[in-house]
Amino acid sequence: MADAYHKGEGVERNLQLATKYYQAAAEKGLRIGQFNLGVALLRDAGGAPDLQKKAITFFKKAGDTGLPQAQYAVGLNCLIGRGVDRMDEVGLKWIELGAKQGFGVAQTCLGLIYLSGHGRIRSNRDDAFDWFQKASTGGNLIATIYTGFCFLRGLGTGPNFVRAKGIIAGARKEAEERAARGEAQGDDSVVLSEAFEMIEKMEKLLAESPSESLEESSI
């Protein structure tokens, strides 16, 4: 019922009622309820430190049970210092917990962290490429695009223009198919919008890149 009110599926969307149901589920110790309550609290926090801290408390409760989405949420907030003191290494460990369970968003986040580094965390492009590939294999479209970028620029792998071009073409096809299936709604619309923007940028980079100067490689 909480999800129905949150998404407006079959009922009029009502975020206050959704939060009420999430609260009830959290109080019963249901980890998905704890996680969703954390999300709702952050949404309503408006920068209020007390609500942010409360949200992290519920994320941690759910994360301690092994819920990968909650583990990722704890880690991300540790990295940016929201609702908790900024702790890069602690944040990284929490995100790794979610990533090792196959949560694609966490895997993609690790790829981004290792691609450029973050605070006290050093860049490791080999690890970045590996995490992008894992997330891409699991169906994460953003990770697929970054995998193509790594092949184009030779980040964590040998440069391979042909492979990069094929991956980006496949990403565009997948994005268009998802949009046609109606996934371009709600939270999914944000992901798809971002994906299309990234694909367009990659297509421009590919068009400007001299393919003959990039050797093919295999993995």
Q: Which residues pair with 121 in a beta bridge?
A: 118
- Single-letter code of the amino acid located at 210: P
* Rounded average pLDDT over 151-173: 97
pLDDT tens digits for range 107-129: 999 999 999 999 999 999 999 99
Diameter of the chain measured on Cα atoms: 61
| Structural domain spans, the chain | 123-219
Is residue 19 scored above 80 in pLDDT?
A: no
Six-digit token pair at 136? 């891409």
The pLDDT, as a whole number, for residue 218 is 35
Residue 216 has pLDDT above 50, yes or no: no
Q: How confident is the model at residue 209 (pLDDT cuts 50, 70, 90)?
A: confident
Residue 9: pLDDT band (50, 70, 90) is low
Count other Cβ atoms within 10 Å, centred on residue 173. Answer: 11
Q: Is the pLDDT of residue 3 over 60?
A: no
The mean pLDDT value for 14-29 works out to 77
- Whole-angstrom distance, CA of residue 123 vs CA of residue 7: 38
Tokens representing 157 are 């792998």
What's the average model confidence in pLDDT over 38-52? 88
Residue 219 has pLDDT above 50, yes or no: no
pLDDT value at position 45? Answer: 78
Q: At 212, is the pLDDT very low, low, confident or very high (cuts 50, 70, 90)? A: very low
**8 A C-beta contact, residue 128 and residue 150:** yes
Of the pLDDT bands very low, low, confident and very high (cuts 50, 70, 90), residue 10 is low
Give the chain as a 3 state SS string: CHHHHHHCCCCCCCHHHHHHHHHHHHHCCCHHHHHHHHHHHHHHHCCCHHHHHHHHHHHHHHHHCCCHHHHHHHHHHHHHCCCCCCCHHHHHHHHHHHHHCCCHHHHHHHHHHHHHCECCECCCHHHHHHHHHHHHHCCCHHHHHHHHHHHHHCCCCCCCHHHHHHHHHHHHHHHHHHHHCCCCCHHHHHHHHHHHHHHHHHHHHHHHCCHHHCCCCCC
Cβ(102)–Cβ(90) under 8 Å? no
Residue 16 CB burial class (10 angstroms; 0-12, 13-18, ≥19): exposed
Half-sphere exposure for 202 (CA within 13 Å, toward CB)? 28
Give the position of tokens 């995100």.
95
What local confidence, expressed as pLDDT, does residue 185 receive? 56
At 25 the pLDDT is: 82
Question: Using 50, 70 and 90 to split pLDDT, how confident is the model at 183?
Answer: low
Whether the model pTM is above 0.95:
no
Contact 127, 110 (CB under 8 A): yes
Percent of the chain past pLDDT 70, that is, above it, reads: 85
Model pLDDT for residues 127-137, shown as the tens digit of each residue: 999 999 999 99
